[in-house]
Structure 1
Amino acid sequence: MGLLSTVLAKSYVEFWGRKWNIQDISTVVVFVALHCLCLFAPFHFNWGAFWVAMALYLLTGLGVTLSYHRNLAHRSFTLPKWLEYSFAYCGVLSLQGSSIEWVSTHRYHHQFTDTGKDPHSPIN
C-alpha cells in the first residue's frame, strides 16, 4: 500500500452533492476551456470563420435531433446506411458522446421518466 493508494482507489469525486467520475470532470474541463477561448473571438473575428461556425451548428444540430434522436433512438424512419452513418457522424461532432451511449441513455430516460432512475430527472 503506497501513500496515495487510498486516494487513487476512489473513481469519483463528490462535488455539489453529486458523484463526479473522470468523464464528468474531463467534460467540464473541455467546455470551460472552449468558453474561455471564446473570449478571444471578438479580437479574431472574420466572416469565413462565422459561416463555418454556422455550418457546424446546423450539421451538429441535425446530427443530434435527426440522427441520434429521431432515427437511432426512436426509429421514426429509415435511411440508406451511408446516409445514416453520415448523420451519426454529424452527431459525434456535437460532443454529446457516441451514438450508442446517447441512444442508450435516451431510451433509459423514456423507460424511467421522472423517477429516481431517470438520468435527466429534475427529482435527482
Structure 2
Amino acid sequence: MSVEISELSGLLDSASKMVNDRLAHAPGWQVLQVIQTQLQAMQDDVNHERVPTAEAKKRINIGVLAVREFEANDPEFADILIKAAYLYKKLSPRLSTTVPVPQEQANALVAEANTLQATGGYEEAVKA
C-alpha cells in the first residue's frame, strides 16, 4: 500500500471548500480566516511536493482549533481539519509523490489518528 500526496491534497481541497462556505456566511470570523491561511500554506507545500520543516509543522494548529471550536457543533468539519493536520505533520523527508508503506503500518497510522481523535489526545500529539 502507498500513502499518496493526493490523499492529503484531497482532504485539503475539501477542507478549503468547507472553510470558504463558512466564510461566505461569516466573513469576519477570525478563526476561519486563520484556518484558511493555514490550509493554503499546507496546500502550497503539497502542490510543490515540499516536505514542511519542523518549524512549519509547529505553526499548523488547525487540528487544535478544530477540536476547540468545531468538534461539538460541526463534527464533520472538525474531523476533516484534524485528519488533514495529522497527515500533514506526518510528511517525512522521504516523501516524493508516493511513499511505499506496508499495509500493517498504514493501518496502524490510521488507527492511531482515530484513537487520538476519539480519546481527545490529539491536541497533545500535535504539540509534540
Q: What TM-score do you get using the length of structure 2 for normalisation?
A: 0.27
* Bigger relative contact order, structure 1 or 2 (CA pairs below 8 A, ≥6 apart): 2
Q: What TM-score do you get using the length of structure 1 for normalisation?
A: 0.28
Asked which structure has the greater CA Rg, the reply is 1
Structure with greater helix percent? 2
